[in-house]
Amino acid sequence: MSADILLTVVATVLVQSIFGAGVLLFGTPILLLLGYEFVEVLVILLPISLVVNGLQIAKHHANIDLGFYRRILWLSLPPIAVFLFIVFHPYE
């Protein structure tokens, strides 16, 4: 892994561990500005973001409001599925 990717990941992981957002929010534009392709950036950053979020959930699972997250998933997953279908099955 190159030094610019490593420095970006370390800095954004620190921000995400403190504020809850960072790896994707800040890491994506930073790496895009450094000249990496979008898909390559996502391949690098998505697993890191999932690991950080998973560790936070494992450590603080007692503080999670499951009812709130069920409502969020109930409201967000159907539109995501519909629009993914539209994007991958264009009107002919």
Q: Answer yes or no: is pLDDT of 91 > 90.
A: no
Q: What is the pLDDT of residue 87?
A: 82
Whole-model pTM above 0.75? no
Domain membership of residue 66 as a residue range: 3-88
pLDDT of 2-38, one tens digit each?
Answer: 898 999 999 998 888 888 788 889 999 999 999 999 8
Tell me how far apart the alpha carbons of residues 17 and 5 are, in angstroms, rounded to a whole number. Answer: 18
pLDDT category at 92 given cuts 50, 70, 90 is low
Q: Which residues contact 13 (CB under 8 A, 6 or more apart)?
A: 22, 23, 48, 52
pLDDT of 44-53, one tens digit each?
Answer: 999 988 888 8
Q: How many domains does the chain have?
A: 1
Q: What is the pLDDT of residue 53?
A: 82
Are the beta carbons of 49 and 31 closer than 8 angstroms? no
Under DSSP, is residue 34 helix (H, G, I), strand (E, B) or coil? coil
Please tell me the least confidently modeled range out of 24-28, 73-77, 84-88: 84-88
